[in-house]
A and B are shown apart, each in its own frame.
Chain A
């Protein structure tokens, strides 16, 4: 019973964190919310996976946050660009968008539970909320950090659902590699363009 209550708290945390990522313009808040989102995902994943394998996802997730944070902190010049060019739509629009995602997840979760018994409603709802939030986020942004956050959110939602049906260690390892790879890629793309071009002749 207690585990069930904590699972619903984790679902609420996932919804709040993904809404914060969607709405916030401050990258520090977004990355903090991503860290909380991984905590919620960790709890939901451990409903079906052993604690040790679930903690791999949590550690990998927090490493992702660290990689993106360390990269972003060194790119102070992006602040101005972001505030001017990013997010043409208002915060209210994004909150409503997240509301739609939450309602859609709430509507779909019982149907999926009926089709695939044993997954558990909180696990399905948490997974669907994160997948929907990530998709919605990707739909309203072209900023590289935001795109990376959107992709990572989709992947963590998928991981919650997939953990319920597949418990192979290799898959857990490869999914952790995908998460870390996406964050390194995001960091690389954020940095790209800030290094001056040096031709071979100049190097000589």
Chain B
């Protein structure tokens, strides 16, 4: 058995089978179980290393050939696969509580499989095509058949489609730059092409305008999954570029472009987020701010850059899943999630409201929550690099904090005689409770991530130098 078959083909086929064969009832458990099982294998069974169990020797081969090109997952990919499939399992188990199980689980598994293929494919530039196919698979999750598609989803697919040609073409040009590094015009052209491609993929300012629109139109859980999955794999893809091409790392213009894109994204989304009156849009702006932080972290000139990126990336999955799940629970009673619709909800859905508040504070970098350790590490390096950029990032995070307080104020705005109720189902309560506990544990004991994070920099050997 080879690694790409286990972590790409198996979840993809499972997703298709769940769509065709299984009903709503078991889909979440089986899909979540498969993802959790794959995470466990990635964690405990090393790739390309013989394991002796009794008299049986097991070895997972690292690569397979498809049409003359290879899909390869090496030993160093193990911890990354464990993290990605672990977080995917969290999202898939959550579908049961959010009430979106059947289609979400099957498409979710297929999307994660395709995104994993984007990490594995060689030459790695072809990942742009796989990211595009994965983005197309997300659309049925965002637009159910009974709902007219809005502008947000159309813009999303246009921007993702535009990214693909830019990245593929820039990849071809980058090879030319490597062959003749002195050719300045080719270097500039390929740099611009690459920047455009990633600007579309990440949704750099002002190309993120589809995210708040989409959060207003679509199911919060499906849109939250999209905001977790695509940027996560795009970050890994972009780290691959920086790792592979030395001149990209050493060109100060490109490093500055990434750095200031991240700072501007964080600052603008924080400020816009503070002015919103729709809970979905607030979640959208918070996700944009966090993507901005990831870009800022990628541009840091420190050997710890990869560790800081993954320290931000891992809690992001938990924060977004908890927030999106809680929103989807509240949306059933407070459609369309404007402040005027959610007044007093804290007394009807205390757990869901608490979960939203916890996740929101965590993304804003509030102490003792999961987002805090990564923000602390980021601040430390950022302050050495640029104090003005630190100030703008601070303004962005302050904006998120203000929007958290405004949201809380709207939630608790109930009449005095309103009784406290708990309308969440037991499964919803358990899922949200586990999520909130996770946010606290990762905040108070960040060293619990250390065994995983310490191995991840091995994936990008040149970036640690």
Please determine whether B140 and A193 come into contact, CB atoms closer than 8 angstroms. no
Please determine whether A185 and B126 come into contact, CB atoms closer than 8 angstroms. no
1/0 per residue B141-157: CB within 8 Å of A? 00111111101011001
Please determine whether B158 and A188 come into contact, CB atoms closer than 8 angstroms. no
**Chain B facing A: main interface SS:** helix
Contact of B161 among A154, A170, A188, A193 (CB under 8 A): A154
Closest to B154 in A: A147
Contact of A174 among B129, B157, B186 (CB under 8 A): B129
Interface check A142, CB cutoff 8 A:
yes
CA A161 to CA B169, docked complex, whole Å: 9
Which residues of chain A have C-beta atoms less than 8 A from B24's C-beta?
200
Please determine whether A193 and B68 come into contact, CB atoms closer than 8 angstroms. no
Interface check B290, CB cutoff 8 A:
no
- Of the candidates B144, B161, B168, the one having the most CB atoms from chain A within 10 angstroms of its own CB is B161
Interface check A138, CB cutoff 8 A:
yes
Identify the A interface with B (CB < 8 A): 115, 131, 138, 142, 144, 147, 151, 154-155, 158, 161-162, 165-166, 168-171, 173-175, 177-178, 181-182, 185, 188-189, 191-193, 195-198, 200
CA A8 to CA B90, docked complex, whole Å: 55
Which residues of chain A have C-beta atoms less than 8 A from B186's C-beta?
115
Closest to A135 in B: B162
Which residues of chain B have C-beta atoms less than 8 A from A165's C-beta?
172
Closest to B136 in A: A181
Identify the B interface with A (CB < 8 A): 24, 66-69, 126, 129-130, 132-133, 136, 139-140, 143-149, 151, 153-154, 157-158, 161-162, 164-165, 168-169, 172, 185-186, 189
Please determine whether B68 and A168 come into contact, CB atoms closer than 8 angstroms. yes
**Contact A170-B126, Cβ < 8 Å, known A151-B161, A162-B165, A192-B149:** yes
Please determine whether A189 and B161 come into contact, CB atoms closer than 8 angstroms. no
Contact of B143 among A170, A189, A198 (CB under 8 A): A189
Contact of B149 among A166, A168, A189 (CB under 8 A): A189
Please determine whether A169 and B158 come into contact, CB atoms closer than 8 angstroms. no
Which residues of chain B have C-beta atoms less than 8 A from A195's C-beta?
145-146
**Nearest Cβ distance between residue B143 and chain A, in whole angstroms?**
5
Please determine whether B67 and A155 come into contact, CB atoms closer than 8 angstroms. no
- Supply 13 A–B pairs (Cβ within 8 Å), ascending by A: A115-B186, A154-B161, A162-B168, A162-B172, A168-B68, A173-B67, A177-B133, A188-B139, A188-B143, A189-B143, A189-B154, A192-B143, A195-B146
Please determine whether A181 and B169 come into contact, CB atoms closer than 8 angstroms. no
Contact of B162 among A115, A154, A166 (CB under 8 A): A154
CA A115 to CA B180, docked complex, whole Å: 14
Please determine whether A182 and B146 come into contact, CB atoms closer than 8 angstroms. no
Please determine whether B146 and A196 come into contact, CB atoms closer than 8 angstroms. yes
Which residues of chain B have C-beta atoms less than 8 A from A161's C-beta?
169
**Nearest Cβ distance between residue A89 and chain B, in whole angstroms?**
19
CA A166 to CA B169, docked complex, whole Å: 10
CA A40 to CA B113, docked complex, whole Å: 35
Closest to B139 in A: A185
Contact of A181 among B69, B133, B143, B158 (CB under 8 A): B133
**Contact A155-B149, Cβ < 8 Å, known A168-B67, A168-B69, A169-B67:** no
Taking A144-B149, A178-B129 as known contacts, 19 extra A-B pairs with beta carbons closer than 8 A to each other, sorted by chain A number, are: A138-B158, A142-B151, A151-B158, A154-B162, A155-B161, A161-B169, A165-B172, A170-B68, A178-B132, A178-B133, A182-B157, A185-B139, A185-B157, A188-B145, A189-B139, A189-B153, A189-B154, A193-B147, A200-B24
